[in-house]
């Protein structure tokens, strides 16, 4: 199953921690060559050490996904290192939590640039490589927050994640001529270093509100990304998949209390 990933070149933005690191782990277990892109060198090197220690081919490149020059260089470096780019996992993101009344316009811009503009920049930079290969795959990491749900303090974050889905539909049409698909995963609450920072209370309340009664694991997202990136998913494009343990299903507190 999904043997098509073996030997493919994969760029994972935000692959140094959390969901991105989980995606990198899942792809490398399938024999893919994985490039980790992030700003921080230490976490990226630690991710590479983990993957290569398990026998995989992996490397890291320093990159700020909100900056066009940086993204172009990271994509070029990946193509040079691995002989092309087959799969882009545009995953890097930030989620500072600030209510509207306190939200500084600069923070709004920073969230938009890191989470939304970055999707455009990384896809744009990869197009020549998909064109050269005659095929390609893009998987965006969106969220349930924004496209499906709201949460106080995350107006900017939710707008950026909903914006990714708007971007995806037109991008899917334009990428089709390069035989390239683009889809999005929409994680619920996944246990990562980033989410840990939100505190014990947040994590406990969230787990209680999920029908499957646990937060997600990074590999839960990695496995869905792997499917979208596979040859087996060749005819799926412009779509999104919620992976949230059923969190967005209950209509009321009573509904979740009664299962
Ligand atoms: P995380 O643990 O904080 O990791 C974020 C990753 O993104 C790190 O590798 C970080 O590395 C990188 N990154 C952040 N800003 C960057 C920038 N400007 N340029 C390059 N890399 C950057 O976060 P996470 O929880 O894994 O979240 C990953 C993605 O999943 C995000 O898009 C997030 O919105 C989405 N998501 C997460 C959850 C969840 O429950 N965790 C739920 C829904 C969606 P550096 O800081 O070193 O650059």
**Could you count the other beta carbons within 10 Å of the beta carbon of residue 8?**
22
Give residue 91 CA to ligand 1 midpoint distance, Å: 7
Phi first, then psi: give them for residue 78, nearest 5 degrees. -65, -45
| pLDDT value of residue 3 | 65
Residue 50 has pLDDT above 60, yes or no: yes
Percent of the chain with pLDDT over 90: 89
pLDDT tens, position by position, 217-255 = 999 999 999 999 999 999 999 999 999 999 999 999 899
Range of the domain at 70: 3-257
Q: Whose CA is nearest to atom 23 of ligand 1?
A: 194
Mean pLDDT of the chain: 96
CB proximity list for 141: less than 8 A, separation 6 or greater: 14, 19, 20, 23, 89, 90, 91, 93, 184, 185, 187, 221, 225
Residue of the CA atom closest to atom 39 of ligand 1? 190
34-50: average pLDDT: 98
CATH of the domain at 43: 3.40.50.720
Q: 93-145, pLDDT tens digit by residue?
A: 999 999 999 999 999 999 999 999 999 999 999 999 999 999 999 999 999 99
Q: Is the CB of 93 under 6 A from ligand 1?
A: yes
Domain count, the chain: 1
Pocket of ligand 1 contains residue 143 by CB under 6 Å:
yes
The reported pLDDT for the residue numbered 162 is 98
Whether the per-residue pLDDT at 1 is higher than 90: the answer is no
C-alpha 170 to ligand 1 mean position (Å): 24
So which residues are the catalytic ones? 157
Which of 119, 136, 116, 120 shows the shortest CA–CA distance to 128?
A: 136
- Does pTM top 0.95 for this prediction? yes
Identify the three-state secondary structure at position 216. Answer: strand
Chain segment 15-31, per-residue pLDDT in tens? 999 999 999 999 999 99
Q: Is 141 close to ligand 1, i.e. is its CB under 6 Å away? A: yes
Residue nearest to atom 11 of ligand 1 (CA): 38
Pocket flag, ligand 1, residue 164 (CB < 6 Å):
no
Task: Give tens-digit pLDDT for 172-224.
Answer: 999 999 999 999 999 999 998 777 788 888 888 889 999 999 999 999 999 99
Spatial neighbors of 193 by CB under 8 A, at least 6 apart, are 17, 18
pLDDT of the residue at 2: 64
Atom 24 of ligand 1: nearest residue by CA position = 18
CA-based torsion, 250, 254, 257, 259: positive or negative: negative
Name, in order, each residue with C-beta under 8 angstroms of 39's C-beta and a sequence gap of 6 or more: 62, 63, 64
Q: Is 22 helix (H, G, I), strand (E, B) or coil?
A: helix
């Amino acid at each position: 199953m999904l043997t098509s990933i073996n030997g493919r070149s994969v760029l994972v933005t935000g692959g140094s921690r959390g969901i991105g690191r989980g995606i990198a782990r899942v792809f490398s277990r399938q024999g893919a060559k994985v490039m980790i892109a992030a700003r921080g060198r230490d976490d990226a090197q630690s991710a590479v050490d983990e993957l290569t220690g398990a026998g995989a081919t992996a490397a890291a490149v320093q990159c700020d996904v909100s900056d066009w020059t940086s993204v172009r260089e990271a994509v070029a470096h990946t193509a040079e290192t691995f002989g092309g780019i087959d799969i882009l996992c545009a995953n890097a993101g930030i989620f500072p939590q600030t209510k509207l009344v306190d939200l500084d316009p600069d923070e709004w811009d920073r969230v938009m640039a890191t989470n939304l503009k970055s999707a455009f920049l990384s896809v744009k930079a990869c197009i020549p490589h998909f064109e050269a290969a005659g095929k390609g795959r893009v998987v965006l990491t969106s969220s349930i927050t924004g496209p499906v749900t709201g949460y106080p303090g995350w107006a900017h974050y939710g707008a950026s994640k909903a914006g990714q889905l708007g971007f995806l539909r037109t991008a899917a049409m334009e990428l089709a001529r390069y035989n390239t698909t683009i889809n999005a995963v929409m994680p619920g609450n996944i246990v990562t270093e980033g989410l840990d920072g939100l505190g014990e209370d947040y994590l406990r309340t969230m787990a209680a509100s999920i029908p499957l009664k646990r937060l997600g694991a990074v590999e839960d997202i990695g496995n869905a990304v792997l499917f979208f990136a596979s040859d087996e998913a060749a005819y799926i494009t412009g779509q999104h998949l919620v992976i949230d343990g059923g969190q967005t299903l209950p209509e009321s507190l009573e509904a979740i209390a009664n299962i």
